[in-house]
Amino acid sequence: MEAKLAFSQESPPISIICAAKVADVPLTIDPSLPTGSAPILKFSSGESLHGVKPILHYIARSASFSSFSGKNNMEFGHVVEWLDYAPTFFSGSEFENACSFVDGFLASRTFLVGHGLTVADIAVWSNLAGIGQRWESLRRSKKYQNLVRWFNSIDAEYRDTLNEIVAAYVGKRGIGKSPAPSLKEKVHDSKDPSAPEVDLPGAKVGQVCVRFAPEPSGYLHIGHAKAALLNKYFAERYQGRLIVRFDDTNPSKESNEFVENLLKDIETLGIKYDAVTYTSDYFPMLMEMAESLIKQGKAYIDDTPKEQMRKERMDGIESRCRNNTVEENLSLWKEMVNGTERGMQCCVRGKLDMQDPNKSLRDPVYYRCNTDPHHRVGSLYNVYPTYDFACPFVDALEGVTHALRSSEYHDRNAQYYRILQDMGLRRVEIYEFSRLNMVYTLLSKRKLLWFVQNKKVEDWTDPRFPTVQGIVRRGLKVEALIQFILQQGASKNLNLMEWDKLWTINKKIIDPVCARHTAVLTDQRVIFTLTNGPEKPFVRILPRHKKCEGAGKKATTFTNRIWLDYADASAISKGEEVTLMDWGNAIINEIKMEGGVITELVGELHLEGSVKTTRMKITWLADMEELVPLSLVEFDYLICKKKLEEDEDFLENLNPCTRRETLALGDANMRNVKRGEIIQIERKGYYRCDAPFMRSSKPVVLFAIPDGRQQASLN
């Protein structure tokens, strides 16, 4: 079919043009669209495709060789993932991370998908080529050898075809400069037919219902926060409804404490919902549905031991109970409901397909016995539905139109749809996004619970924990967390994110407004005697932040004896002129020492001296009784490996030292610092007050806030 590719001359879609050339799909080029327009593929029939990804899909399917879109459905799925990922290279801040990720991925691979060239390779190749000089500089270096090997092999194979396009279009204004699309740019406005992509399939403004469904078996962590905020975003974007539903189907792990704190965390994130529901509200209906499926022969009771059942599912072996009669199954179901000894040996399994390559469809468990009391309904039930059984049922009943799930559940999507089909319920669209993984971080609630139970942390709000309450207690502003998550959008690409990026965003928020204070280390300080200093101490009122009037004022005392940090004192030479911050210059006349240790500096003020000529600008504190005792607390990661593989035991990778406390003395104004307030101790860093001043015998506790720079381990 004859096709014309229309695009803005400012931003030619190199990936489409390159893919069409390689695939031998003829295109007429029309660079006449307005600046900022998404590319459009127009057909002679009057039909058209809008946006890079749909056009690349079309080219892949129309290629002169069938494997360009992948050799099977699984490979095509991976191709789609790479097409989602390809624009990441255009994000300046993510470029190096993207190069590193793909370089590692290609360590043992020749192509991105399968064993042959696909449109995924061309899309990523052309985006790298489109970066221009920045990529060429990296290409000449030895930094990403696997990525460069892959790039060069494609370049060699299709040199004439691809280099002609790159030469024609790279260097055009906009190439290599446009950022990766934000979440807001990706979401389709159903009223605008020219919008490039539809994020939520079949979504209509005013008719969308999404749900955030945490299990109340722990506190909300940063991974859950991503899911919660994406649901909030899509509900607002489509003017729809957001349901918060507690998936409370396992009484052994759940409690009201977790429910209350999850609601607290959801409020902290600024999420406004339309309703709070519980899966336990639907227990009677779920039991009726289970019994109905048994009667229809779509489910059966199985008493196979757990380990044997797991092995049979892996091997595709049918259970000996699979062909029991409906009467036998109903009899055993009654035993389960009554919690008898015989019933406790059984579970309900769906009768799906034990030979399906997708193991999630091999007769999954729908119901199991549990006699532990439930935090809402007590001991009313002896059987509880599994998440896989309850979730599609409740989604359909509550009117959910789009179920957002992390891509770790991808293989279970077919199961979700099959269960809905067997139940005779309407279809709910699944929308996948990538799970948020952070370096040196465990997000499994089971593993986090181990730290709590074994007293390795205070509780779920410990600042070393990735829980919302933990990272906020450490000093993260919620605005920074929201910004960090929404910057990633609803991407399906699996990324291991650095904490440094999040803390860098946080610093940009707190630095312009947080008050400045001064402190010296209690065990590492030296007195500096100023021979011409004020005989009587005097006080000046100074701003707590020179560029932020809203930070308020502070009273600074000036005396002829002041404290310096030992590190500063040891770096000063006799006769040197230094600047005392917020005061003026001083000259060091004498350095007193005992046993090689500095005990005192003696000098004189030289206030007419120029601060521009001094090498050292030093913080100081007046020698006075009103100084405030401080405990400066630093934290480190709980594990000492950046990423744990699936078969690695986290207990073998525990960080031996994750908390360090240093005593200090702070200026008298720190008596007024409130719990939760963020300050900067000049030349020491940012801190959040965890325990404010109560009395002189008890120090103010300040938690160090990372600023995004690489910090040394506490070990």
Domain boundaries defined on the chain: 3-170, 523-622, 628-705
pLDDT of residue 583 exceeding 50: yes
Model pLDDT, residue 677: 95
More confident residue, 366 or 53: 366
Which token pair is 249? 């189907």
Domains 523-622 and 628-705 share a fold: yes
CA R_g for the chain: 32
Q: What is the mean pLDDT of residues 212-225?
A: 94
Residue 16: which of 48, 75, 72, 60 has the closest Cα? 60
CATH number attached to the domain at 523-622? 2.40.240.10
Instruction: Look at residue 113 and give its three-state secondary structure.
Output: coil
Give per-residue pLDDT as tens, 528-548: 999 999 999 999 999 999 989
Model pLDDT, residue 92: 59
Give per-residue pLDDT as tens, 118-138: 999 999 998 888 877 778 877
Model pLDDT, residue 182: 41
More confident residue, 660 or 492: 660
Q: Give exposure, 277-297, as e/b (b: 16+ Cβ within 10 Å).
A: bbbbbbbeebbebbbebbeee
Model pLDDT, residue 90: 67
Pair 482, 468: CB distance under 8 Å: no
Name the β-bridge partners of 301: 348
Choose the weakest-confidence range: 29-38, 506-515, 562-571, 596-605. Answer: 29-38
Residue 700: which of 420, 677, 712 has the closest Cα? 677
pTM > 0.85: yes or no = no
In this prediction, residue 414 has a pLDDT band, given cuts at 50, 70 and 90, of: very high
Give per-residue pLDDT as tens, 235-280: 998 999 999 999 999 999 999 999 999 999 999 999 999 999 999 9
Model pLDDT, residue 313: 95
% pLDDT > 90, the chain: 65
Give per-residue pLDDT as tens, 692-707: 999 888 999 999 999 9
CATH number attached to the domain at 628-705? 2.40.240.10
Model pLDDT, residue 140: 80
Model pLDDT, residue 93: 61
Give per-residue pLDDT as tens, 442-484: 999 999 999 999 999 999 999 999 999 999 999 999 999 988 8
Q: What is the mean pLDDT of residues 367-395?
A: 96
Model pLDDT, residue 284: 96
Choose the weakest-confidence range: 42-56, 86-100, 116-130, 391-405. Answer: 86-100
Give per-residue pLDDT as tens, 51-66: 888 899 888 888 877 7
Model pLDDT, residue 136: 81
Which token pair is 441? 């971080």
Model pLDDT, residue 660: 95
Q: What is the mean pLDDT of residues 85-100?
A: 76
Q: What is the mean pLDDT of residues 69-93?
A: 80
Model pLDDT, residue 180: 33
For 489: left if phi > 0, alpha if psi spans -120 to 50, otherwise beta; the answer is: left
Q: Please tell me the distance from the alpha carbon of residue 185 to that of residue 233, in angstroms, as a whole number.
A: 12
Pair 627, 668: CB distance under 8 Å: yes
CATH-assigned architecture of domain 3-170: Up-down Bundle (1.20)
Pairing of strands 553-558, 538-543: antiparallel
Q: Which of 30-39, 164-173, 414-423 has the highest mean pLDDT?
A: 414-423
Choose the weakest-confidence range: 26-40, 194-208, 338-352. Answer: 194-208
Q: What is the largest CA-CA distance in the chain?
A: 102
CA distances from 418 to 72, 279, 353, 355, 414 (A): 21, 20, 11, 15, 6
Model pLDDT, residue 275: 95
% pLDDT > 70, the chain: 94
Model pLDDT, residue 196: 29
Q: Return mean pLDDT, the chain.
A: 89
Amino acid at 635: F
Instruction: Look at residue 170 and give its three-state secondary structure.
Output: strand
Model pLDDT, residue 261: 94
Model pLDDT, residue 494: 66
Model pLDDT, residue 403: 95
